[in-house]
Chains A and B, each alone.
Chain A
């Protein structure tokens, strides 16, 4: 995950922001201007139309159907993309089955490894192109795609490449077998990175894949398909089916799929679990979250502020493990919230391709509507709303970083996943109360704790029911680090040795 917080901090020190909003009241603002620093989009050539990637070739959908993907920062149409239907799912699963039986399955692990290393290297070589394309299609800032999404995606392929010929030492028995054809449905918040999280361990373990990228962010998955071609990956080993929810539903329900992996909302995850029930398909789910980020009175405030900002405003809050509930000890609550607001006024919202941009576009109108609705509910239920005084572009989907104080546990904004740049602040007095409140959610994906006291960190880490606990840091990711949820945040882990279990017959 790199060091976004540290970098952001340094940037804030060097360059107080351009302050154009009439609503700004903070005296620290000096009205400095940033020069525009746009990353060139020349490096990317977007085709007017994209087909499905099935059996190593790009083909139109059997139905001829297409849908449009837009740049959420400008609402500019980017391309028309094939809408895979039931027949296309059949074709892709058949291609994957053939590859599993004839090429990829029988191939020695050492050879599979070299293909994955090739993919990792090509991703590194074409990283700038991927970063720009991801920012255009998703709306996230170029500094995040450049420093986080793309390097981590390459790192995942590099990491799992090395497992492909060492599976017998992974602790799953002397001869662990792949499962077969994996149907993988991924979300729009980290389009390429989620594709890497799904494909790399599956391929290393010897499975073949049918990947369904999200409807609003298909382009980097299709570029990844091109990378697979360039790596000379045998046809059918990776298939990419673009489409909407029905495409994903058809894929997970397909009888030729042996393994289903899904990242997305808990609601859809439950529907998938119901579909898969009784079929014997192996299932892993990485679902929603409502993480508590707990700040004690002895926490180093400046670091904690950076961690809070990184926790909830990284990727516009479109992060399942976002620290969306700030639990701050009552004695320092006012101070922390003041500092937080001041820091948020220095965040720069705007053109995702500008290298200075901290907050990009909301991924879709649908998501913007959801964030808007939940924020309105926060106000209606009595919480106090504060938004950073930043000017929102006229076109595109935008939402200013927003902080709610006076939030109680029963408020919707404290219970429901907003998946946007909206932070709910709650307070606590004792560590026990912090634990109780942190765990008062059906989710359990992640949690944060900020304190200088080592024993308290471990005490909290032990008690918070979450798959990832970030102590004095937040939103760090690594291919070697298992990631996944407790409770209704799903089951199974991605990353590390643990991530192999999802794709082996164990």
Chain B
């Protein structure tokens, strides 16, 4: 499953007859050259390379070995991602909450099926033991499940009828803000990433995500999950590359409605917040303990409250 470079590990010796038979029909594992994966961007449901043709090397946290060349997204790629995200807002935000919940649950199912691959990738990316990596993957799956339950509940938690002093029916409903730019956590390449994407899209927003600069590979594998689950193209767009190059484009973009600066180092936030002011973006930033139980506030940060009045009469 892995395509780490170099990939010399042979299959464990097994003298059972089934394994022997299979081995005899397949090329010797020891002699077979692994097929490496090309890590590309995820924009509008497709997997393009960077329009700039650039890439950058990604290394394992502990061993320092080269894992892959990730696409080095350009400012143009970021703008393209915003266009893709905008085109997806209408349909996704007007999908029924029940439907969005099922789509998010489907993501959890898909990750479950690829748990081994994710464990290996985050083990490499974050330099953790296999056991720890599997625990993190399980937590990420459970987080998608947690958020999968929210779409059809958040309106009752965050909205309701308001008892105004007059003959009017008045109610408030939460609605998606629109496009949310997300700078994903630098450290936690899958659980942290999940914890910032799921709350954004659960409520009908679409996301343009800047993956962890140094640990981008699990994000692209997550993109493959999203691309093969029922998440419509454009709902999540994932860019790999330099945060310092991409974040300002998104923070200053006039068609981005909100930005999550969680993955931006403290020193870089003021400049991005100033850019975000240009079109009154909603700005959110919170360094959570990703292992801790989540709370709804990341969802609530990217919701608008719409209040509707109508007279009561005959």
A interface with B by C-beta (< 8 Å): 1-3, 155, 171, 266, 269-270, 273-274, 276-279, 285, 287, 442, 457, 461-462, 466-473, 476, 478, 480-484, 486-491, 493, 496, 498, 506
| Assembly CA distance A442 to B280 (angstroms) | 10
User: B164 contacts which chain A residues (CB < 8 A)?
Assistant: 476, 478, 480-481
B162, B177, B282: which contacts A480 (Cβ < 8 A)? B162
User: A276 contacts which chain B residues (CB < 8 A)?
Assistant: 273
- Summed over the interface, the residue pairs from A and B with CB atoms below 8 Å come to a total of 106
Q: A266-B280, A270-B278, A488-B280 are in contact. Are A478 and B162 (CB under 8 A)?
A: yes
User: A506 contacts which chain B residues (CB < 8 A)?
Assistant: 297
User: A285 contacts which chain B residues (CB < 8 A)?
Assistant: 280
- 23 A/B residue pairs, CB under 8 Å, sorted by A: A266-B280, A269-B280, A273-B277, A277-B269, A278-B273, A467-B304, A469-B309, A470-B308, A471-B308, A476-B309, A478-B166, A480-B162, A480-B164, A481-B164, A481-B309, A482-B305, A486-B177, A486-B306, A487-B257, A493-B305, A496-B162, A496-B172, A506-B297
User: B163 contacts which chain A residues (CB < 8 A)?
Assistant: 480
User: B282 contacts which chain A residues (CB < 8 A)?
Assistant: 491
Does A278 contact B307, Cβ atoms closer than 8 Å?
no
Does B273 contact A482, Cβ atoms closer than 8 Å?
no
Q: A478-B162, A478-B170 are in contact. Are A471 and B309 (CB under 8 A)?
A: yes
| Assembly CA distance A469 to B273 (angstroms) | 30
Considering the complex of A and B, which 6 residue pairs feature the smallest CB-CB distances, nearest first? A278-B270, A277-B273, A273-B277, A478-B164, A277-B274, A471-B310
- Residue B157 CB within 8 A of the other chain: yes
Does A461 contact B280, Cβ atoms closer than 8 Å?
no
- Residue B279 CB within 8 A of the other chain: yes
- Residue B1 CB within 8 A of the other chain: no
- Residue B168 CB within 8 A of the other chain: yes
User: A467 contacts which chain B residues (CB < 8 A)?
Assistant: 304-307
CB under 8 Å from chain A, chain B span 161-209? 162-166, 168, 170, 172, 177
Does B280 contact A476, Cβ atoms closer than 8 Å?
no
| Least Cβ–Cβ distance between B250 and chain A, in angstroms | 15
**Residue count of chain B within 8 Å CB distance of chain A:** 32
- Residue B293 CB within 8 A of the other chain: no
- Residue B53 CB within 8 A of the other chain: no
Q: A487-B280, A496-B172 are in contact. Are A277 and B307 (CB under 8 A)?
A: no
User: A473 contacts which chain B residues (CB < 8 A)?
Assistant: 168, 309-311
Does A270 contact B277, Cβ atoms closer than 8 Å?
yes
Does B270 contact A482, Cβ atoms closer than 8 Å?
no
Q: Which residue of A lies closest to B161 (CB)?
A: A480
Does A277 contact B162, Cβ atoms closer than 8 Å?
no
B172, B273, B280: which contacts A498 (Cβ < 8 A)? B172
Interface centre among A171, A478, A490 (most CB of B within 10 A): A478
A1, A466, A469, A491: which contacts B280 (Cβ < 8 A)? A491
| Least Cβ–Cβ distance between A472 and chain B, in angstroms | 6
Does B310 contact A472, Cβ atoms closer than 8 Å?
yes
User: B311 contacts which chain A residues (CB < 8 A)?
Assistant: 472-473
In addition to A473-B168, A478-B162, 9 A-B residue pairs with Cβ atoms within 8 Å of each other are A155-B165, A274-B277, A278-B269, A467-B307, A470-B309, A482-B172, A486-B177, A486-B304, A487-B279
Q: A468-B309, A484-B305 are in contact. Are A273 and B280 (CB under 8 A)?
A: yes
| Assembly CA distance A486 to B168 (angstroms) | 23
Q: Which residue of A lies closest to B157 (CB)?
A: A171
| Assembly CA distance A457 to B172 (angstroms) | 15
User: B304 contacts which chain A residues (CB < 8 A)?
Assistant: 467, 486
| Assembly CA distance A484 to B279 (angstroms) | 16
| Assembly CA distance A506 to B177 (angstroms) | 19
User: A480 contacts which chain B residues (CB < 8 A)?
Assistant: 162-165, 170
Does A278 contact B274, Cβ atoms closer than 8 Å?
yes
| Least Cβ–Cβ distance between A506 and chain B, in angstroms | 7
| Assembly CA distance A473 to B165 (angstroms) | 15
User: B166 contacts which chain A residues (CB < 8 A)?
Assistant: 1-3, 476, 478
| Least Cβ–Cβ distance between A182 and chain B, in angstroms | 19
B94, B162, B271, B280: which contacts A482 (Cβ < 8 A)? B162
Q: Which residue of B lies closest to A155 (CB)?
A: B165
